[in-house]
Amino acid sequence: MDCPKNSFLFTISCTILLLSYNNGGFVYAATNIGLNYGLLGDNLPPPFEVINLYKSLNITNIRIFDTNTDVLNAFRGNRDIGVIVGVKNEDLEALAVSENAVNTWFMTNIEPYLADVNITFITVGNEVIPGEIGSHVLPVMESLTNVVKSRSLPILISTTVAMTNLGQSYPPSTAEFTTQALNIYPYFAYASDPVNIPLDYAVFNTDAVVVQDGPLGYSNMFDVIFDAFVWAMEKEGVKDLPMVVTETGLSSAGNGNLTTPYIASMYNGNFVKHAESGKGTPKRPDSGINGFLFATFNENQKPAGTEQNFGLYYPTDMKPVYKLF
Ligand SMILES: *[C@@H]1O[C@H](CO)[C@@H](O)[C@H](O)[C@H]1NC(C)=O
Ligand SMILES: *[C@@H]1O[C@H](CO)[C@@H](O)[C@H](O)[C@H]1NC(C)=O
Ligand SMILES: *[C@@H]1O[C@H](CO)[C@@H](O)[C@H](O)[C@H]1NC(C)=O
């Protein structure tokens, strides 16, 4: 398929990269790196402080998982920051019933912010295809696509899929949409088999080819997962679909020596370098990687263990959990 050249992905990959490092923690500023802003904590700083943090880091792409009123109100007037919002999984079934239901959702949850907030994407459900409620995603995406098209709004409609979908047949109708959002966590594959999977390969810490796939050589697991997805989509007839990595990251605690601040800083730091280099993957060498690190803060209302420790910052004092280098 042909991909519209006005897509978010195209825009950000053609923006000049502004990336800087210093020794004081996470101080990147890259237009193709975004941060997930998760809200599952009872000790998180108020949204305006979080926005000031993003500004101090020159982060211009943020993702939230729903259409949280407090957060979106705080983003008013900060149109230089693009915000991805989401339709919650639990709302999908009711919205799939009719285009009217989706219109009402849009008028309630998106319309009030359009004038002041730079909403770039609406993700419809998070990691629900394939699955019980997966069938509701496409009708809701179609209705939302109609809404934004009829209004000529520059908002892209997508859903996010997990890397566990590899090997499952992919809905070919995705080809109707402009961008695919994908969550990639090499950590889970690594943690499931740390004896056989080299750590350096899991955290982008080697240039040596670890996996050879025909003419394509891979030195990191992220690229393998990304390209596996590209191959899977091509098998469904979907070519050249821009991809946004909506989540990637590594926890800094909760699973012994597999989740340390040091390993997390290597993974996240090397991911940023990979994105900053402008290089793509072996299969898509010219595309570049656009991605959102997961997540801004440690979130104490997520399941105990690794899940609570994906944050780059502590919520209570907003200090970095680790230096990225
Ligand atoms: C953010 O951008 C401004 C203006 O380009 C620059 O002066 C500043 O050093 C950048 N901050 C970081 C943390 O990169
Ligand atoms: C909205 O955010 C996107 C992504 O960061 C950016 O490319 C675009 O320039 C922003 N729009 C405005 C009006 O600043
Ligand atoms: C974790 O500890 C085990 C047992 O001591 C060791 O074999 C393994 O190499 C360690 N892994 C890492 C990533 O440090």
- What pLDDT score does 7 carry? 27
- In the chain, domain spans: 11-309
Q: How does residue 131 score in pLDDT terms, banded at 50, 70 and 90?
A: confident
Lowest mean pLDDT across 103-107, 225-229, 303-307: 225-229
Write down the H helix ranges in 92-220. 92-96, 99-109, 137-150, 186-192, 199-202
- What pLDDT score does 178 carry? 63
Select the more confidently predicted residue: 73 or 11.
73
How far is ligand 2, taken at its centre, from the CA of residue 287, in Å? 20
Is the CB of 29 inside a 6 Å radius of any atom of ligand 1?
A: yes
Check pLDDT > 60 for residue 64: yes
| Cis peptide bond upstream of 295, omega within 30 | yes
Q: Is 93 annotated as catalytic?
A: no
Q: Is 132 annotated as catalytic?
A: no
Which residue, 181, 204, 148, is CA-closest to 65?
181
Which member of 127, 142, 276, 299 is catalytic? 127
Which member of 132, 176, 236, 247 is catalytic? 247
Q: How does residue 27 score in pLDDT terms, banded at 50, 70 and 90?
A: very low
Which residue, 130, 134, 111, 126, is CA-closest to 65?
126
What's the pLDDT tens digit per position in 156-198? Answer: 998 888 876 555 545 545 545 567 788 899 998 899 999 999 9
What are the tokens at 137?
Answer: 């995603």
Check pLDDT > 50 for residue 3: no
Mutate to test the pocket of ligand 3, among 200, 257, 259, 266 (most ligand atoms within 8 A of CB): 257
- What pLDDT score does 62 carry? 96
How far is ligand 1, taken at its centre, from the CA of residue 192, in Å? 39
Q: Place domain 11-309 in its CATH homologous superfamily.
A: Glycosidases (3.20.20.80)
Residue type, 145: T
- What pLDDT score does 83 carry? 97
What's the pLDDT tens digit per position in 264-317? Answer: 999 999 999 999 899 999 999 998 898 999 999 999 999 999 999 999 999 999
